[in-house]
Amino acid sequence: MRTVYVDAGPMAHLSGKGPLKGHSLLDAEALVSPKGMGLVVFEERIEAISHSEELIAEYGAPNDQLSSDSEIKVISLNGNAIIPGLVDSHTHLLWAGDRSRELSWRHSGKSYREISEMGGGIQDTVRATAAASDEELLKLGYSRMRSALRTGTTHMEVKSGYGLTTESELRLIEIASQLKGMEHLPSMDLTWLGAHDTPHGMNTEQYVEQILSEQLPKVIEQGHARSADVFCEPGWFNVEQSEDILKSSRDGGLDLRIHIDEFVDGGGGELAAELNVTTADHAFHSSADARRKMDAAQVNTGFLPGTPYALGTEWPEFNQMIDDKLTWSIATDFNPNCKTLSLPFMGSLLSQRCSVHPLASLVAATRNPAETTPHSSGQVHGRLEVGAVANFNVVGAPYWEAWCLQPSHTPFASTCISGKLIHH
């Protein structure tokens, strides 16, 4: 089946090789085509991108019954702008329970650490997740992924990490893998985050030992996770422990990601650079020197603006990253503390709150995270070009800038995912 989309408004194709950095993030002339373009989708891929008139001459006009052949459908986008499918490169998708009471605790001055000592935090979610059935978790994951798709996410990274025993981590990865490849859901890149916290009844040294001797080998044997991640932060996993886990993970064939410097500069940036991890996320408190080292080591900085939003802390200097020509992306960090899967909302935070140009915010939610979070087909995604996966969003507006201007609901009229059009 071939579908031809014509009469697009401006097309933010963002095409080109590799991640974008520096002021090229703002280059609308290079990254956006003026209105009037169209594209041809054949099966799951973009087969051609061309002027609408040329496509109409070849395939017929939209709804032109006379020239239409059942194997070809021509659809008018009625001047609506299009942008690539959004790529959420950092989510904690699978967990049960509810931590809403922590908001009141935060308002009475409790820190993240104190809340976790009061019985909240990751451990609270671990307990609730253990009590949930596989079916409940599968349903939660399904409805969350549907909600991500509604706000334009066509591909997402999903971490385990609310199990913290060998068995429960394998269970979460197994459930996530059942959601992988389900129709009408974003596609998935799976990450094992066994080192998210230390389970009760053990100290961190003992847990790291258990991870290295038992949990990690079993995760590798299970074969679903493509990457490993560690919560490298003073009070959780220190630099040495993170290094041991990540090095063994790499030896076992896993790609590496890391949580660093969320609350303080704990030296995780230097480790990320030394290990050439794919992406180092949060990074709110990383020093300028660590940021430069990471970039020199081709480590992406993954900002998670939903976390400072939810916790009421400071925003990082996104525009400094542009001026310093460093590679960065944004993601939702969906978790029990930050319950949004909307990348348009992240775009709004950047562009309506932190003075980031909307084109830079868009690249940070598409082309750049696609580099760290590959599509399982092995094809290009996160940008619109011939041969790429046919993942794109039709904005319900004649301007691409509208992608981040409706943070409370979806800005998209429809989303094409692996060649299938879904109306919202």
Which DSSP helix (H) or strand (E) runs through 167?
A: helix 166-179
Q: CA 277 to CA 198: how far, in whole Å?
A: 23
Nearest approach, Cβ of residue 259 and Fe ion (Å): 5
125: contact with ligand NIG by CB under 6 A: yes
Q: Among ligand NIG, Fe ion, none, what does residue 307 contact (CB within 5–8 Å per kind)? A: ligand NIG
Cβ atoms of 355 and 287 within 8 Å: the answer is: no
Which DSSP helix (H) or strand (E) runs through 106?
A: helix 102-107
Nearer to Fe ion, 255 or 333 (CB): 333
Question: What's the DSSP call for residue 193?
Answer: E
Among positions 6, 74, 94, 122, the unique one binding ligand NIG when judged by CB under 6 A? 122
262: contact with ligand NIG by CB under 6 A: yes
Touching ligand NIG, residues 174-233 (CB under 6 A): 231
Nearest approach, Cβ of residue 82 and Fe ion (Å): 30
Touching ligand NIG, residues 302-361 (CB under 6 A): 307, 333, 335-337
Nearer to Fe ion, 7 or 197 (CB): 197
Beta bridge partners of 329: 302
Q: Which stretch binds ligand NIG (CB under 6 A): 68-76, 121-129, 139-147, 167-175?
A: 121-129
Cα distances (Å, whole numbers) of residue 119 to 95, 99, 131, 204:
17, 10, 16, 18
Nearest approach, Cβ of residue 212 and ligand NIG (Å): 21
Nearest approach, Cβ of residue 143 and Fe ion (Å): 20
Q: Residue 210 is encoded by which pair of tokens?
A: 């258990």
Q: Among Fe ion, ligand NIG, none, what does residue 125 contact (CB within 5–8 Å per kind)? A: ligand NIG
Q: Which stretch binds Fe ion (CB under 5 A): 25-33, 67-75, 106-114, 326-334?
A: 326-334
Of 153, 155, 76, the residue nearest 393 (C-alpha): 153
DSSP string covering 298-344, please? TPEEEE-THHHHHHT-PPP-HHHHHHTT--EEE---BBTTB----HH
Q: Which stretch binds Fe ion (CB under 5 A): 125-133, 311-319, 327-335, 341-349?
A: 327-335
Q: CA 60 to CA 67: how far, in whole Å?
A: 6
Touching Fe ion, residues 10-29 (CB under 5 A): none
Number of C-beta neighbours around residue 382 at 10 A: 29
Nearer to ligand NIG, 186 or 336 (CB): 336
Among positions 88, 262, 333, 401, the unique one binding Fe ion when judged by CB under 5 A? 333
By CB atoms closer than 10 A (0-12, 13-18, 19+), residue 24 is middle
262: contact with Fe ion by CB under 5 A: no
Interface ranges with Fe ion (CB under 5 A): 333
Interface ranges with ligand NIG (CB under 6 A): 92, 121-122, 125, 231, 259, 262, 307, 333, 335-337
